Amino acid sequence: MKIEIGSDFPKYFKPSYPEEFELFHHFEVTAGIPTVLFAVTTWKENGKPNVCFHSWSCFHGDKTAFFAVMGNLYQHTHSYKNIQREKCFGINFLPISSYDRLVDTIHHNELDDNEFDVGGFTLYDGKKIHAPMIREAFVNMECTLKDIQDLSGSGITAMIIGQVMHVLVEKEYAQGYDKRYGKDGFMMLVPAPQNLVTGDPNQSAIATLNIEKYD
């Protein structure tokens, strides 16, 4: 038997924090689909570096180009405004050992905050774009802005599409599966899976990858 959840908010769903369902659609915790976590880096209008801890994205392309498709970027954020202005952004993949430092940048993200200093990250200038990049990341992607779409048309979030122009990979992560997958590799956000029977909330989780099979 399958439990069916419609587009109308289920009144028996309990939020895990007061504003949860003001920020996120209930389908997010209904499906609980994991996505990779990373840091988006840009320059603020006052020249301070900005870090945005982000998920809700995918990466793909064809033989002519490769794209970073970032969903659910809030339009009120520094990152959204910075990307609009600078027409570029950095993507930086860090291991789960950096999680707490990345969360610190969420809590100290005012215009005058140097968010690289807040997180204890080393800054280097992008090779192909005008954006700050995190040296401690094991994979860095430098992206130019391709498109911005407000999918819901509500002015709340936007989907940012960036064209990847340059990729840097730490040598110890650049030799197959070792390091890149596991506790030192990509970290994933697991949206809090709602109990679809009782409506009770769960905590979000942070996961790492475990290779089960080679195809």
pLDDT at 136: 98
Write down the pTM of the prediction.
0.96
Structure tokens at 179: 């390091």
Buried b (16+ CB within 10 A) or exposed e, 79-92: bbebbeebebbbbb
Residue type at 198 in one-letter notation: T
Other CB atoms within 10 Å distance of the CB of residue 30? 18
- d(CA 215, CA 212) in angstroms, rounded, equals 10
- Secondary structure class of 25 (helix, strand, coil): coil
- d(CA 54, CA 88) in angstroms, rounded, equals 16
Residue type at 214 in one-letter notation: Y
DSSP 5: -
- d(CA 83, CA 214) in angstroms, rounded, equals 38
pLDDT at 144: 98
Q: What is the pLDDT along the chain (215 residues), one digit of tens a residue?
A: 999 999 999 999 999 999 999 999 999 999 999 999 999 999 999 999 999 999 999 999 999 999 999 999 999 999 999 999 999 999 999 999 999 999 999 999 999 999 999 999 999 999 999 999 999 999 999 999 999 999 999 999 999 999 999 999 999 999 999 899 999 999 999 999 999 999 999 999 999 999 999 99
